[in-house]
Structures are given as C-alpha cells and as structure tokens.
Amino acid sequence: MFTGDQGPLRGISIECGGFAYLHNATDDSVRPLLDTLAPTGAYERVYTRDSRDLLLADLRENFTEEGAASEAEQLLRLMNLRNTPLLDAMIRSRGEDTVFTLRGQQKRVAASVRQRAAAVLGHPDQSVALPDDGRAVFIVTGGAGTGKSAVGLQLRADFEAAGHRVKYASGSRAFNGALKEQVGYTEKEFRKRFAYFSHFVTPPEPRLDVLICDEAHRLRERTIDMYRREEKSGKQPQVDDLLDASRLTVFFLDESQSVRPKEVGTVSLIEGAARARGITPLHYRLREEWRCGGSDAYIRWVRAVLGIEAGTTEWTPDGLMHVEVADSPEELEHIIRTEAEAGATARMVADFCWPWTEPVGKGKAARLEADVRIGDWHRPWNAKSDSFCEDGAVPPSTIWSVHPFGINQIGCVYTAQGLEWDWCGVILGDDMVRRGDRWVYRKGQWYEDPEAKVKRVKVPGSFDMKLRETTGSKEDSEEEFARCVRHAYHVLMTRASRATVLYSTDEETQDYLKACVGNVQIHGLRPTWENLPAEARVPHRPSPKTKGNDTAPGQELLF
C-alpha cells in the first residue's frame, strides 16, 4: 500500500517495519488494534487521527539524516499534505475550467453554493426564467490558509463556465495585482472578471448573477473615492453596495485579519445587512489548514505566541512547517536571499515600525529611501507607487509580492495579505514588545534628519498613521490599536508555506521568541530548496503575456 508503485513511499528505501495509518479513525474506535494483546503483535505500528503527531515523530526518527528532507517532502506531497500554491494553480489553468482540487470542507462549501445557485439563478439557457427577486447570501469564514480564496476562485470559474454573469471582488490591491500579473490577463480581461469593493457604488446594469467578495473583513463603512470625488463615493454602507450588485453574493472573511480600525467587515455586519433585505444568510466555516505546510499546530502556535487565543507557546516541530529565529537582520536576509536565489519563493516583511518616505524624484527615475534601519542594516520599504522606480529595478507595490526584484525591498501587511511564499522572513519591530508575561504596544515618534531631509525614528514604535484614526474613549482606542497590531503580525507570520524566519528588534522580545521556538533540531528536515525532491524544484513562472500586456524589466521569470 505504501511502498507499491502507487504508494506514497514508492522508490524510497526503508529499513523499518510496516505501519498502518487509519486517518479517519480515533483511538477509541479501534481500541482492540492498539491493546497490548492485539493480534497484530507487540511491535505493531498502528496510528489514528488522534496519534498523527506520533506518526510524524516516528517517521522523522526512522528517516536517515542524509537526504531525509527530500524523502520527507516527497512523502508529504504524495500524501496530499502539500497543497498547490494558489497563484501556481491559477497560472496553470489561466483561470479557466477546473482551477483547484478542492478538498474536504472546501468541496462541501463549493457544492452547497452551486446547489443553492441553481435554485436561485437557474441555468442561463433555460426557457422559463426564475423570479428576479430570488436572492441568496453566503458567508464563508476561516483562518489564514484554510482555502477561502481557492474556493472563491473555483466558484468564479464554475459560474462563468455555466454562463452566469459573475465577478470576483476584493479589497486588496496587492492580491488583485499579483493575480493579474501572474495569470497574464490583459486589462480588458481582468476588468471583465475582477473588481474592487469600491467599484459597486452604482449597481451594475443589468445586475450580476453572482458577486464573490474575498477578503471581506476589509469592508469599509462606506466607499470613499481616493480622489475625494463625491459622485464616486458611496451613499450607503459598502456592504449594501455589494448586496445590491448581484442576486447571489458570497462573502469570504477572517475577522482576525482585520488590520485597520476602519475595516468593519464582520459576520454580524453582513448577517444584519442580509436580513434587512429579507435574506437569511448561510454561514460555513473552513477549519482545515492548507497553507503553512498544512500545519494546524503552527497556526495555533502563532495565535498563542501573539496572545490572540490561549494555547501553548512552546513550538513542537511537526514535520509540516519549519520555524527558526535569526540572530540578526543580516542573518534573516541571508537565509531568505539564499532560498530565493536557489529557486524558492521568498520575501522579507515587517510591520510599520519605521517612517515610509515618498520616492525621491519622478517616474521610473524615482529612488527609494532605505527607511527600515536596524543598526548598520538599512533596507527600503516596497515602493508606494503603481509604476516601476529606479529605472525598472523596483517593482510597483501591486506586484512587489511576485516580481523577482521584490526581494530587495521589505514588504508590509498591506502588500502581503492574501499572498504566500515558500519562505518568509518576519521582522518584529518595537510596536509590539514582550515585557514579562505580557505584550506591550507602543506608538513611535519621528524627527527630520537635517541632512537627508527625511523622517527618522526618534521613539521606537508604530508609525502606521491609519492605526491612530480611532474614535471612542482612550481605553477603547488603545485596545483597538493593540488588536490591529496583533492581527498584522498574525497575517505576516502566516504567509509562508514551508518556513518562517523570525527576528525582533527588541532584545527581550527576541529572547521570548527564542524561548518559544526552542533549539531547532534540523536533522536533515529543514525545507531548503536544495533539500526538496527534484520534482518539487520547479521555478514559478507566470502565464505568457497576452497582446496588450507590456513586459517590464525582469518580469520574464518570476522567482
């Protein structure tokens, strides 16, 4: 079963006895097989869903150190514990037909939405039209990496293939920009399929059949035009704009990824707006983890470390996700660059703990200031602009996450949210520092460097001005500030699919992180690019550019 031609251990030389993994069973349900006097004998190896951690530990113990990472990775891939990255799946299909292999809860949620859609929308070719007042609202919640976007993009492809008028909306410019860049849509193709929440101030005519709203936790109270044009700004809550735009609306959200005070998207908000229209919303929860190596343990650990929920802060390696703490920003950068140059996807990110200088100069000749400064280590933030800077050496913010030259800048929560890389280096700044057994949240102050004419750190802390736009009492404002900072680090620490490298600028926080992670027992299992099996070392390439899409410098090979 495991070592045969179709088994997950095919081609691997092993020197230990056989074992059985009863992945749908519990210890209690198969107790006779686990007892000392079981007919399988005293040296049997039977594992259930309850003893999955023990299975992983035994596999690690019985793999030889030489080449173990490659063999372990092959096993994880063949057992479907490694999911295809979202953008890779879109590239391979160019957004058409079957985009993703949905699994478990993902498959059930998608099937339920399609079933309800058939009752509400019917089929575009049917001779008898259904009443136009048929409406449906779905709310799908789930943590980072549970597959919300995968389900949403698959549903978009399914509805489009069925002939329905459907659009996929998001509140994230970075996600939409990466999607457009990687899949290779022309501007016309992209606008036909994708939109932003702010595009529905005026309902489309005719009304859409389906509107899929991803990252719905980023909903605003109402749409405010970026140029402050009143005719382009919303007159009602933004959630109402979206509900008015279609007959069937699907919202995907994770309230723990709301990182600004003015992001108001919650389950209760959407439910209230739907019921006000006489619609009873259907709520689904995705719990199975597919990012971060599919490691539920890692997600729980991150939330416990950040104080988002109770749990153990001691990291126990599970063979799915790798964590380590760098001793310096130089070491963190060396690790990330080494992986990127070898062929992995990799990025460095941080929260807003340094000022962010506007590019100096105009157009492509504009230069970035190295704002992120830790001792003698200085690096720039990703570009704010929507065009290339430094003669094409710095990509626009919308494609920083996927352009090869993005490795030279530090990303933030707004350019990282909704995206993932194999390796992610996370710099924890002085906006959230550990003091004793609690976290302390701090706001920074700046001064102007008289020589460079730019802002520098005077008092360490947060420089995100958006987090200071809170209302209410001082106590409520401080709690909202702390919540947003916690959530920002939660987003940043859950962007990796294989390994997260941490570093804190604060000595006491650095000690806390090292205590939580413990001694990293690599034992050949560090998921570096060179340790992956040959079939997994495939460079990430975008879809070929279609006519009308210009290729900027360095975009021929992404990562």
Kindly report the number of other CB atoms within 10 A of residue 515's CB atom: 13
Query: The pTM is what?
Result: 0.77
Number of helices followed by number of strands (H, E) in the chain: 15, 19
The tokens for 153 are 């993009």
Tell me which residues of the chain have a pLDDT lower than 70: 1-18, 34-44, 60-101, 123-133, 225-232, 470-471, 521-525, 535-536, 538-559
CB of 307 within 8 A of CB of 482?
no
The tokens for 243 are 């509900």
Three-class secondary structure assignment of 405-456: HHHHCEECHHHHCCCCEEEEEEEECCCEEEECCEEEECECEEEECCCCCCEE
CB of 198 within 8 A of CB of 248?
no
206 prior amide bond cis, ω within 30: yes
Task: Determine the Cα–Cα distance for residues 552 and 395; give it in Å rounded to an integer.
Answer: 9
The tokens for 343 are 């062929």
The tokens for 51 are 């003893």
What's the pLDDT at 130?
A: 44
Residue 155 φ/ψ, nearest 5 degrees = -65, -40
Burial class, 463, CB count within 10 angstroms (exposed 0-12 / middle 13-18 / buried 19+): buried
The three-class DSSP label of residue 389 is: strand
Kindly report the number of other CB atoms within 10 A of residue 514's CB atom: 16
Helix, strand, coil shares of the chain, percent, nearest 5, are 35, 20, 45
Q: Tell me how far apart the 2 most distant CA atoms of the chain are, in Å.
A: 81
Nearest one of 76, 84, 75 to 103, comparing CA atoms = 84
Q: 553: phi > 0 → left, psi -120 to 50 → alpha, else beta; which? A: beta
What's the pLDDT at 318?
A: 81
Strand order in the sheet with 136-142: 194-196, 166-170, 208-214, 246-253, 136-142, 282-286
CA distances to 281, 442, 467, 509 from 478, rounded to whole Å, are 33, 10, 10, 21
Nearest one of 303, 240, 255, 298 to 148, comparing CA atoms = 255
CA distances to 41, 249, 436, 467 from 224, rounded to whole Å, are 70, 22, 42, 18
Task: Determine the Cα–Cα distance for residues 547 and 418; give it in Å rounded to an integer.
Answer: 28
The three-class DSSP label of residue 334 is: helix
What's the pLDDT at 147?
A: 85
CB of 135 within 8 A of CB of 211?
no
Cβ neighbours of residue 283 closer than 8 Å, sequence gap 6 or more: 138, 139, 140, 141, 267, 271
Fold entry, domain 86-286: Rossmann fold (3.40.50)
List the alpha helices (DSSP H) in 460-506. Answer: 474-492
Chain centroid, CA 558 distance in Å: 18
What's the pLDDT at 81?
A: 55
What's the pLDDT at 127?
A: 47
What's the pLDDT at 559?
A: 24
Task: Determine the Cα–Cα distance for residues 186 and 242; give it in Å rounded to an integer.
Answer: 25
CA distances to 8, 11, 46, 462 from 3, rounded to whole Å, are 7, 7, 16, 53
The tokens for 62 are 């019985």
Q: Where are the domains of the chain?
A: 20-62, 86-286, 292-533
Strand order in the sheet with 410-411: 322-325, 496-504, 421-428, 346-350, 410-411
Task: Determine the Cα–Cα distance for residues 416 and 246; give it in Å rounded to an integer.
Answer: 29
Report the DSSP pairing between strands 282-286 and 136-142: parallel
What's the pLDDT at 521?
A: 61
Q: Which residues face 168 on adjacent strands? A: 194, 212
The tokens for 360 are 């100096």
At 221, which amino acid appears?
Answer: E
Task: Determine the Cα–Cα distance for residues 140 and 250; give it in Å rounded to an integer.
Answer: 7
Report the DSSP pairing between strands 246-253 and 208-214: parallel
What's the pLDDT at 551?
A: 38
